A and B are shown apart, each in its own frame.
Chain A
Amino acid sequence: LFTLQVENVKLLDRYTNRKAANGTLYLTATHLIYVDASAEVRKETWILHHHIATVEKLPLTTAGYPLLIHCKNFHVAHFVIGQERDCHEVYTSLLKLSQPVKPEELYAFSYNPKMSKENREIGWKLIDLKVDYQRMGIPNDYWEITDVNKDYEVCNTYPPEIVVPRAANKAVVIGSSRFRSRGRIPVLSYLYKENNAAICRCSQPLSGFSARCLEDEQMLQAIREANPGSPFMYVVDTRPKLNAMANRAAGKGYENEDNYDNIRFKFIGIENIHVMRNSLQKLLEVCEMKSPSMSDFLTGLENSGWLRHIKAVMDAGVFLAKAVKDEKASVLVHCSDGWDRTAQVCSVASILLDPFYRTFKGFMVLIEKEWIAMGHKFSHRCGHLDGDPKEVSPVFTQFVECVWQLMQQFPCTFEFNERFLLEIHDHVYSCQFGNFLGTCHKEREDVKIFEKTHSLWPFLLQKKQELRNPLYRGFTAYKELQPNTLPFSFQFWCGMYNRFDKGMHPKQCVLDHLLSCVSQKVKLEDNASELENKLPCLDGPLPSEACSLSKVGSAASKTPMLNTPQDYEGEPPPVLSNGASAGDVDAVSDVDQKHKENLSRHRDLHDLNDTVDVLDSEAKDGKPQHH
């Protein structure tokens, strides 16, 4: 079962100087498992091989050979292994296990949840994009679903079925595809039914310095005319102007306003994947600083540029939503290839415009539609396989964070809670399910994910109870959202980037409290109706106050007390060696366990522990005046 077993391994706490845990490290085909033997209660830390971003051997210390593991879900584990040979063996094994070369080696192809074939297939049919287009009223007089790409002849990174204006015939579609980078022609992303304004997406035109294409111009005209209420349409290039201009030299570039009728062209400066990758790297360095001062942290946060980029994506989404809703104008969005920034911006705009995308089902549809179907290269951006590290970039993470930022401003508008976002984010990297494998629909077909793997969505829906937002006011309570995008409206997302540093999080969780209220509510309602049913069955006179008083007390005392998360009674949990603990594999599965962890309250004062350590050492050094 285990491919490797190493005894006498320490797991250091990332922040405190507390005594490290001592235990055994196991490697399985899919996981690294660490079992803490020093804890009173068996404590396990599970790390999925696919979650491992980097493994580093650090210089030898007195305790042994340190091995530092950074995970893609921002878990950081610092092991110290007694023997050099063991350390090296773990190191090389992990390097190999964490970076498979062939797609078939990914977890999804071996993951077996013991589900029937039918159920697995039903799982893949849970999300049907056609239903979403129907919801938008498509097909209609202006838009149609076409299978022009069924053999991937128009564009091999688009799905077989795409939505284009009826007015754009096959010749226009084909012609336009030749003028767009990688054939990614303008297709519909979202239709705002109220006024027929549409959000469309594509890649950059191959315009160079002067090239033009009649069919592409006809395509844009068709999009504009599919919204008869507006005399113009926006064309939004989400890149900084300078980047777009530089692309012209390579025969690519952006639309010339003179060549297209009634377009308003606009740049929105979202930086490219390389800038974003570096920004995240800097952010994580800040998050990992040991006892940073407030200034260190805020300066580091600023210098990382991370929130600036988040704001840029949000601003772009807001621009789109306003254009569609307030100006009633259609928008065509692109960046370079139209699969990173374009996906971010279109999906943020959809969430702002349509409450459906704020439900469980809708959010799944949105990710399937704008990210998976439209060819966001998850495999490359997440580094699923051993490949070019320069292709890796946290584009999807940024989208998830934008949604989280919206949740902070609009706490009652989402059906799901923060944990749902974290679960999805985990599984984008876990390769446990087929949804995010490969780079586009064609590739997923080629490796037969629909035949050989499971879909994530039914798995998440099973956990709906713990992933729901108890404050959600329902589908109709809020329509379009208009978020505040002033800088102070954006917060650092501790729950994501310091997610495994439990000591930094609030020690009592309002979400858990409310979730337990919700489940309590169901029980109480059942109790109440059950009791009400019983009452009339009993015959006899109504009880008189006097004769039954003695019984009242005992009956009332039998009432179960609210078993709330703030139940502090009982022994505090055993000492935890590390901020990241038992919840690693399934962080939300056991609410109660989490509470006990959260309440391991004496463990959480990094700075103070340092202070106390100073106190201790000073007390021990025996200066004469103390004796």
Chain B
Amino acid sequence: MEFAELIKTPRADNVVLHRPFYLAVEGTLCLTGHHLIFSSRRQDNAEELWLLHSNIDSIEKRFVGSLGTIVIKCKDLRIIQLDIPGMEECLNIASSIEALSTLDSVTLMYPFFYRPMFEIIEDGWRSFLPDQEFELLSSVTDEWRLSCINKEFSVCPSYPPVVIVPKSVDDEALRKVAMFRHGSRFPVLSYYHKKNGMVMMRSSQPLTGTNGRRCKEDEKLINATLRPGKRGYIIDTRSLNVAQQARAKGGGFEQEAHYPQWRRIHKCIERFNILQESLIKLVEACNDQSHNMDRWLSKLEASNWLTHIKEILTAACLAAQCIDREGASVLVHGTEGTDSTLQVTSLAQIILDPRCRTIRGFESLVVREWLQAGHPFQQRCAQSAYSNSKQKWEAPVFLLFLDCVWQILRQFPCSFEFNEQFLIMLFEHAYASQFGTFLGNNENERSKLKLVQKTMSLWSWVNRSEELSKFQNPLFEANSLVIWPSVAPQSLQLWEGVFLRWNRPSKFLDEAHEEMINIIKYNKELQAKVNALRRQLAEMETDDRMQENL
């Protein structure tokens, strides 16, 4: 298919662009295969807009006489408006945008056409390989092994080709366990807590069904992670009620009788459309500036967004607490083990593991616990807060995770190497990007799409020093501690950087940030200067002494 077929009117003049924080400006609108481009054709080039079609969540059009207006709502939550003279042009442009922003085929997406304009220093596709991760692990324990059982994605389609499993369990047993777990997602290692050797595993629900099926290999596998005489915790991210209902559909949960060494705890993290509706309501509340205080607070409450944040953080803290405080191993799962499970396992690691609070460590976490673990990004992030289609696969699962990280970052502002902008950048790229990183729903799909060969990795771009400098937190001072966030409602806040980003100018907050950077930078420079002077002085003294000795 040629994009040209979709572009009925490639260009319109005398278009007026309205967007947040800028005065309306007149200029020329161009449509290309992947971008909507607006230029005021001024000398300074300041009045330009490049918008990826894939960033467009929904469009609305309306007419007053022959003046058409297109309202474009983006996945990054921005809303822009184009006034286009001429009804036909406007209709053509609207239908083109609609078609181009909802392309069916992944291979037509921009990452397959994007050519980087920067020098590639490090190939991001090779930055975070499972083998490296395992090497780190095997330097501290020999109880685990790398299994290639899923090499051809033949055992579990949503798992990566290699996974880490207990050494004492062979591939044959794994095959049996896979039969007993939803989508074949058998328990694998998610995190090893060096401090006490406890581990966190994740999986999908066991297929116990209504007649209480059991699987000896499954029991053996997860028991293999327990120390003699020790107990473990199974954190089921669903409420007991939901988990019980799952039995009717062949799913279920681990029965106490078959897993006597494990204590099961149910949390209730919501999924799918409930989360999607929550996001839609929240963004609606944030965008409506006519609210009075009562209405705003009631809308904020009714969106339940912060309730979800609190639930997820609480579950993650619980997992971390079991591992670090109770000295117990943990298995986390919900139904499929691709959404709430990953929220819990990845946040628990941020709490427990200082490495995950560095930039590379966090990237590695996203790669391990989200991309390789098979979070279906393409389905979940197909639409954002302005979607009106009622498809049931969209859900802001990853955004909720990033929001939770932001909440922890806010409570521990000196414990993270990255800043809020880094999280916002990941949010944006998960929904629309020139890079292939977040395409596809799992490693299997990514390998079929040949993303490594045909697209650029987000990490290749981010991990260059020019980009990294934007994402560094000046307050960061590495600490090796477990950081326990407070989950009291008073401690949780609306993430303004994402949800109010386009609704209120951030000039004064940006200036404060700048001021902070300057203070810290100046001190570092001073310290360096003092050190240099001391050294110089010491050198001189030494010289003097040597002369005296002569």
Contacts and interface: CB of A to CB of B under 8 A. Distances in A.
A complexed with B: yes
Interface residues of B, number: 88
Interface in B479-517: 479-494, 496, 500, 503-504, 508-509, 511-512, 515-516
B534 A555 contact: yes
B539 A548 contact: yes
A564 B479 CA distance: 12
B538 A548 contact: yes
B9 interface: no
Contacts of A602: 325, 484
B320 to A, nearest CB: 9
Contact of A503 (B307, B486, B492, B508): B486
A524 B484 contact: no
B483 A601 contact: yes
Interface in B512-550: 512, 515-516, 519-520, 522-523, 526-527, 529-531, 533-544, 546-547
Given A564-B477, A568-B481, A298 B538 contact: no
A596 to B, nearest CB: 13
A471 interface: yes
Chain A binding surface SS class: helix
Interface stretch (B29-37, B77-85, B368-376, B412-420): B412-420
A122 B260 CA distance: 76
B531 A556 contact: yes
Most B CB atoms within 10 A — which of A294, A473, A524, A555?
A: A294
A33 B44 CA distance: 68
Contact of B526 (A491, A521, A539): A521
Nearest to A470: B519
A471 B515 contact: yes
A249 interface: no
Contacts of B515: 411-412, 471, 473
A623 to B, nearest CB: 8
A553 to B, nearest CB: 9
Interface string A394-438: 000000000000000111110000000000000000000000000
A191 interface: no
B504 A543 contact: no
B16 interface: no
Contact of B540 (A411, A510, A543): A543
Most B CB atoms within 10 A — which of A311, A473, A505, A605?
A: A605
A619 B484 CA distance: 23
A507 B301 CA distance: 26
A471 B512 contact: yes
Given A295-B307, A605-B486, A535 B533 contact: yes
B291 interface: yes
Contact of A524 (B294, B492, B523, B536): B523
A296 B489 CA distance: 9
A547 B534 contact: no
A460 B65 CA distance: 66
Interface stretch (A76-84, A213-221, A299-307, A358-366): A299-307
Contacts of A601: 481-484
Contacts of A540: 540, 543-544, 547
Contacts of B304: 294-295
Nearest to B547: A540
B533 A294 contact: no
Contacts of B295: 487
A390 B478 CA distance: 53
Contact of B504 (A308, A410, A484, A568): A484
A470 B515 CA distance: 9
B530 A524 contact: yes
Nearest to B259: A625
Given A294-B310, A528-B526, A531-B534, A299 B413 contact: no
Given A508-B412, A521-B522, A564-B477, A547 B546 contact: yes
A325 interface: no
Contacts of A308: 292-294
Contacts of A305: 294
A273 B482 CA distance: 46
Nearest to A308: B293
Interface of B: 231, 233, 256-257, 260, 263, 265, 286, 289, 291-298, 300-301, 304, 306-307, 309-310, 314, 317-318, 321-322, 325-326, 410-415, 475, 477, 479-494, 496, 500, 503-504, 508-509, 511-512, 515-516, 519-520, 522-523, 526-527, 529-531, 533-544, 546-547
Q: Nearest 10 pairs between A and B by C-beta?
A: A297-B489, A555-B538, A487-B296, A543-B539, A411-B512, A298-B301, A548-B539, A302-B297, A531-B533, A308-B293
